[in-house]
Chains A and B, each alone.
Chain A
Amino acid sequence: MTERKAKEENMGECVLVVDDDREIVKAIGILLEGEGYEVLKAYDGLQALDMLLVHPVKLVLIDVMMPKLDGLSALMRIREKQNIPVIVLSAKGEESDKVLGLSMGADDYVAKPYNPQELAARVKSHLRRYTSLGDIHTRSRASEIVNGRLLYKTEEKVIYADGEAVKLTATETKIVDLFMRNLGRVFPAEEIYRRVWEEEAFVSENTVMVHIRRIREKLELNPKEPEYIKVVWGIGYKMEKQEKCN
């Protein structure tokens, strides 16, 4: 998919960016407009709520600490009426902050200073799922395993990320198959090696790690901070079971 094609694809999708720091709003605006989105800007929570009333907004990027009405309160007000994806953008990068934000109804939590590419990818991922896929649960079948943005069709042995099929090598597919069928289970490197390569492992850690790194690059939005295929340090590897499936 070329860049131009993507832009065209995204054309007309309306994204609301809310932050009291005008430069950040502007920067995100430039970033997202570059991706072909229509960007609306608001500088506090009240303003954001007003704009939501007027414009057909598909996705909200909102800062937490803002004057007049803070981001989390605004989020709760949004959730009273709308089901659109909301990505919380905050300088508070603590685990507890993330948990708080997600439990208040946020679909994603991005810590400042963000990685522009990652932010763009997340926006795209959430919009795709929201607009083109709708509610995944209603369409899920027995032969399909859904985990967050990922959908694995067991019969075809094909994995979809944000509804888009991901091309994997045979070994990678085997690993993904193992992980998707056993969501949340931790596999030691030796076991993965044994089950995928079907031979006894000798120096497995690096081999397994190389493949996992490649899978991450294909599936994860930010391969350096993976959300799905995680290392359980000192034990093994696992596919994180995502609580939020919408």
Chain B
Amino acid sequence: MDTKWKNRKNAISFIIFALGVSMAFGGMADILKNKPSRVGIWQVDELFEEDYQQNYRFQEYITGCFWNFLAMAVGGDLQTSWGYGMDGDYYCTYYGDEMIGGWNDEWEAYQDNLDDMQDIYEDMEEEWERLLQEGAYEEASAYREEIDAYQKELEDFQREVYIVQEYGYKEPTDEEKKKTAQKYHDRIKGDKNLLYTISYDGETLYANSEQLLADGKMTAPKGYNFLLYFDGEKVRIVKDGIEQDIYGDGYYREESSWSDGESARWYVPGYVNFPVDESIKKVRISIAAAEEPVLYMEGSYDAVGYIRYDNSLYWMYDNCRVREKLLENAAMYVVLGIAMLLVALWGRKSRRETEAKIAAIQGRIWIECKVILFLGLLAAVLFFMKSSNYGYWEELSIAFCYDYEYYDYGFAYGLADLPMYGREILRNTPSITWVVLFWGIWLIVNDLKHNKKVWRKSLIGKLYKTFSIKSLSWPFARRMAYRSLSVFVIAVFYALLVMGTAFWRNGSYRNEMALGFLAVIATVIFLFLAYLMGKKNMETARDMEAISDRISEIRNGNYTGIEGDFAGHDLQNVMTELEDIRHGMEKAVEEQMKSQKMKVELIANVSHDIKTPLTSIISYVQFLKQEEGLSEHVKDYVRILDEKSQRLKNMVQDVFAVSKAASGELPMHMEELDFGKLLSQTLADMEEQIKSSTVSFRTDIPKEPVMIMADGQRMYRVFQNLFQNAIQYSLAGSRVYVALQADGNGAMAVASVKNASFMEFDKEKDFAERFTRGDKSRTDGGSGLGLSIAQSFTEACGGEFSWKTDADLFVVQVSFQIVKK
């Protein structure tokens, strides 16, 4: 399969998987978050209950109202009322006097008063005892009455203070109670979602609707489908025209004993174990709730512009619809997510590849980074939780901190409530948090699954490896490594200190002073150490420069000794060793030069020693040749002697020339000359020889001068040899081609001599090798050094010499750089 397509397929299947998981998970979290707390997610029909009246909160609200109405009917105390707000939360409203806080001035005033009164009481007791001791009994008994009255007053006040301290409010008077009740009535009467009529002994006390009478008819006005009626004995509820069973088996049980799914018992009197007492026998209460509540408001033109009535039912209704919508959305996400997961099931294999790829990327990340990232993720999750649950979070932390009954505003906290708070916090956290958390954990699992030994790739490990000294055995290298390590460690400490100073800024003044002092000292030490190390490193750098200079000088053939003192430096050893190498090389080169010189000298001496006897031979052969009257065969011998002695002479001269040229001791007279003219002149010089031979020459030499730098005399020798070779070894009647051309880019002038050999070439023969001859058995006057001399001389002049054979064709090329005018 095409790799590109495969990669694309892997990515797509992974994306489907990731989306599916995220949606299913997030949707589920959303459902859990938004579902009514007393409904399990399996209770699907209740989850999507459209009737807000089926919610337990409605029951609680109606019950709360009922109890308030009871209190109002009998003129009891009415302090707080639970309502239901726009955001779906309860709120508590106090309709009585301002509550007295725990430790405020008013409380202290009470306490002071109490203390004063107690002091007065004690003083009076003392006075009474004094009177008794003085014997003023009548006065004492009169005073005793006064004391008792004051004691009663004190005790009353003590109870009052106790109530204030314990419950935060004081017992209101009947008038105050009535005022509170009226206030409450004013507050809720505009909310026509809830109609009520409260009557006592046939007299209607409070009502917000003419349509609803407390007469026990059990018919709700139009638009109201819920009706509760209290007839002084029992509570009856009609919903949608159907009478509801309220009392069940007639016993009221607390919340904890309810079985799952069982709807809550109405907390109203009339149970066998919760009978109606005498005080409320004459009370009649009717309550009706709207089927589809609306928001009721009233203009308030002197202040905020409008007043919203209680509207609890409306908010309940509204929230119920909102929740329903939310739940529907969440359910859709879950279904979609599960569908995607099912689709992703089909591409499991390619998803595994993608997972492996992700793991490979993860494998490249330091473990420290991963830990920090995960901790950061957890912190972010906690932050989310906290920011969306401020109140609960506070309470939870209080519960954690004080594992005892802690009282404030009448609330009690304790560890026992932890599950409740935890659940609330989890419920209120945005569901995206859980998705993020899930993927964080998924990444960890993926990493652990694919990467064996995840801790291997760690910053600490890398640092250890970078600064590991174990593998170094050279003392200088170890020193260098130690130095680097200590620089790093010092830098780390310094950085930590600087960072500490920066982060502890909000410490006390003394802290700042100490830290600043420390920072100054650390900076000084750090700079000092940095200077020391820098100085040492600079010294080493200079030595390295010197060494590298030395090496390049030695490479260029300069073997003079080293200047400078390296004693005590890091690179002292290296310097000494380099000096040894230099010395060795100097010696070797000297030896080589000496041996080369000796070789040339040896050849010079040998050739000299050969020349002396050769002179005699040539001289006397000459005399023999001039001798008259010799018989023919003797003349033949003399001719052979003459030939051979001449050949020996040439050979000695050539050997000497080649050895000199090879050793580079040949004196050269380089000048600018015309390559073409050189060839023409050489050909002209050898004209007679060419004419007398069996071959003919064909030349292709340009008229324009082709200037080169060379030694003319040597180059004449080169071409003389080449032409001689061509004459000697060419097939009889064949042609020798001499050509001069510029090569491709016109930088080089190439002279070529081509001739057809009269015999077959031995392929492995190196013709320029000294003493190599085309024909071993041939006994002409050549020394066999012709090509060798040609090559040596050409190269000594700075040219290039090459030859090749192609079948019987022998081609020699001599090329020189063209000198541009």
Using a CB–CB distance below 8 Å, which chain A residues touch chain B?
21, 23-24, 27-28, 30-31, 65, 91-93, 95-96, 112-114, 116, 188-189, 205-206, 208-210, 231-236
When C-beta atoms are compared, the residue in chain A nearest to B649 turns out to be A113
Partner of A234, one of B617, B622, B673, B685: B673
Cβ of B400 within 8 Å of any chain A Cβ, yes or no, is: no
Minimal beta-carbon separation of B745 from chain A (angstroms): 23
Is A31 within 8 A of B673, CB to CB? Answer: no
Contact of A91 among B615, B675, B708 (CB under 8 A): B615
Bound-state Cα–Cα, A92 to B611, Å: 9
Report whether A231 and B681 are in contact in the complex, using a CB–CB cutoff of 8 Å: yes
Q: Who on chain B is nearest to A21 by CB?
A: B612
Would you call B612 and A24 a contact (CB within 8 A)?
Answer: yes
Interface bits B649-666 vs A (CB < 8 Å: 1, else 0): 100010000000000000
List A contacts of B680 (CB < 8 A): 189, 205
Q: Which residues of A contact B708 (CB under 8 A)?
A: 234
Per-residue A-contact encoding for B586-619, CB less than 8 Å = 1, 0 else: 0000000000000000000001100110111111
B612: chain A residues at CB < 8 Å are 21, 24, 91, 112
Q: Which residues of B contact A65 (CB under 8 A)?
A: 608
Whole-angstrom distance between the Cβ of B657 and the nearest chain A Cβ: 10
Selected interface stretch from B199-207, B509-517, B710-718: B710-718
Are A95 and B667 in contact, CB atoms less than 8 angstroms apart?
Answer: yes
Expressed in whole angstroms, the Cα–Cα distance for A236 and B678 within the complex equals: 9
Contact of B608 among A21, A92, A95, A236 (CB under 8 A): A92
* A209 in contact with B615 given A116-B622, A234-B674 (CB within 8 Å): no
CA distance A96 to B665 in the complex (A): 12
How far does the alpha carbon of A112 sit from the alpha carbon of B623 in the complex, in Å?
Answer: 17
A209's partner among B616, B620, B687, B710 (CB-CB below 8 A) is B687
How far does the alpha carbon of A231 sit from the alpha carbon of B717 in the complex, in Å? 13
- Which residues of A have CB within 8 Å of B675? 234
Does any Cβ of A come within 8 Å of B684's Cβ? yes
A1 to B616: give the CA distance in the assembly, Å. Answer: 29
Assembly CA distance A231 to B713 (angstroms) = 9
CA A206 – CA B680 in complex, angstroms?
Answer: 8
**A114 / chain B contacts, CB cutoff of 8 Å:** 615, 618
Q: B10 → chain A, closest Cβ, in Å?
A: 76
Closest residue of chain B to A233 (Cβ to Cβ) is B712
What are 11 A-B pairs at a CB distance below 8 A? A21-B615, A24-B616, A65-B608, A91-B607, A91-B612, A112-B612, A114-B615, A189-B677, A189-B680, A206-B683, A209-B681
Q: Which residues of B are interface residues toward A (Cβ below 8 A)? A: 607-608, 611-612, 614-620, 622-623, 649, 653, 667, 671, 673-675, 677-678, 680-685, 687, 708, 710, 712-713, 715-716
CB distance from A151 to the nearest CB of B (A): 28
Q: Which residue of B611, B614, B616, B678 is within 8 Å of A233 (Cβ)?
A: B678
Contact in complex: B623, A30 (CB < 8 Å): yes
CB-contact partner of B616 in A21, A206, A236, under 8 A: A21
Among A112, A113, A205: residue with most chain B CB under 10 A: A113
Identify the closest chain B residue to A111 (Cβ). B611
How close is A115's CB to chain B, nearest CB, in angstroms?
Answer: 8
- Cross-chain contact A91 with B710 (CB below 8 angstroms): no
Report yes or no: B618 in contact with A234, Cβ–Cβ below 8 A. Answer: no
A129 vs B792: C-alpha distance when bound (angstroms): 42
From A189, A231, A234, name the one whose CB has the most chain B CB atoms within 10 angstroms.
A234
A91 cross-chain contacts in B, Cβ below 8 A: 607-608, 611-612, 615
Chain A residue, CB-CB nearest to B610: A91
Q: How far is A65 from B608 in the complex, measured between Cα atoms in Å?
A: 10
CB distance from B804 to the nearest CB of A (A): 26
In whole angstroms, how far apart are the Cα atoms of A92 and B660 in the complex? 14
CB distance from B612 to the nearest CB of A (A): 5
Q: Taking CB as reference atom, which chain B residue is nearest A114?
A: B615
Query: Contact: B620 with A112, CB < 8 Å?
Result: no
Instruction: Find the A residue at minimum CB distance from B607.
Output: A91
B674: chain A residues within 8 A (beta carbon): 234-235
Q: Assuming A23-B616, A113-B617, what are 5 further A-B pairs, CB within 8 angstroms? A: A92-B608, A188-B677, A233-B673, A233-B681, A235-B674
B687 and A231 contacting across the interface, CB-CB below 8 Å: no
Cα distance A234–B682 when bound, in Å?
Answer: 9
With both beta carbons as reference points, the residue of chain A lying nearest to B714 in the complex is identified as A233
Knowing A24-B612, A91-B615, A112-B615 touch, does A234 contact B710 (C-beta < 8 A)?
A: yes
User: How close is A77's CB to chain B, nearest CB, in angstroms?
Assistant: 24
Knowing A21-B616, A235-B674, the reply to whether A112 touches B611 (Cβ < 8 A) is yes
Residues of A contacting B607 with CB < 8 Å? Answer: 91
Contacts of A27 in B (CB 8 A): 615-616, 619-620, 623
Contacts A92-B608, A234-B710, A235-B674; is A24 near B653 (CB within 8 Å)?
Answer: no
Which residue of B615, B667, B685 contacts A113 across the interface (Cβ within 8 Å)?
B615
Contacts of A30 in B (CB 8 A): 623
Report yes or no: A210 in contact with B687, Cβ–Cβ below 8 A.
yes
Q: Which residue, of B617, B622, B675, has the highest number of chain A Cβ atoms within 10 A? A: B622
Q: Which of A28, A31, A95, A206 contacts B684 (CB 8 A)?
A: A206
Instruction: Report yes or no: A234 in contact with B678, Cβ–Cβ below 8 A.
Output: yes
Identify the closest chain B residue to A23 (Cβ): B616
Do A235 and B673 touch (CB < 8 A)? yes
Given contacts A113-B611, A233-B715, contact A96 B667 (CB under 8 A): yes
Known: A206-B684, A206-B687, A209-B685. A234 touches B620 (CB 8 A): no
The residues of B that contact A206 with a CB separation of less than 8 Å are 683-684, 687
Q: Tell me which residues across on chain A come within 8 A of B678, comparing CB atoms.
A: 233-234
Q: Give the distance to chain A from B623, nearest Cβ to Cβ, in Å.
A: 6
Contacts of B710 in A (CB 8 A): 234
Given contacts A93-B653, A113-B649, A205-B680, contact A231 B685 (CB under 8 A): yes
Task: Report B678 CB to chain A, min CB distance, Å.
Answer: 4
Instruction: Report which residue of B667, B673, B681 has the largest number of chain A beta carbons within 10 angstroms of its beta carbon.
Output: B681
Select from chain A the residue with minimum beta-carbon distance to B616: A23
Report the Cα distance A52→B99, complex, angstroms.
158
- Taking the closest CB of chain B, its distance from the CB of A197, in whole angstroms, is 16
Interchain residue pairs A-B with the least CB separation, the first 7: A234-B673, A233-B712, A27-B619, A234-B678, A209-B684, A91-B611, A113-B615
Complex formed: what's the CA distance from A232 to B713 in Å?
8
Q: Is the CB of B712 within 8 A of A232?
A: yes
Say whether A31 contacts B715, CB under 8 Å.
no
Q: Which residues of B contact A95 (CB under 8 A)?
A: 667
Most chain B CB atoms below 10 A, which of A189, A205, A232:
A205
Report chain A residues within 8 Å CB of B671.
235
Which residue of the partner chain A has the closest CB to B617? A113
Give the CA-CA distance A116 to B622 in the complex, in Å. 8
Residues of B within 8 A of A113 (CB): 611, 614-615, 617-619, 649
Q: Give bound CA distance, A112 to B614, whole Å.
A: 8
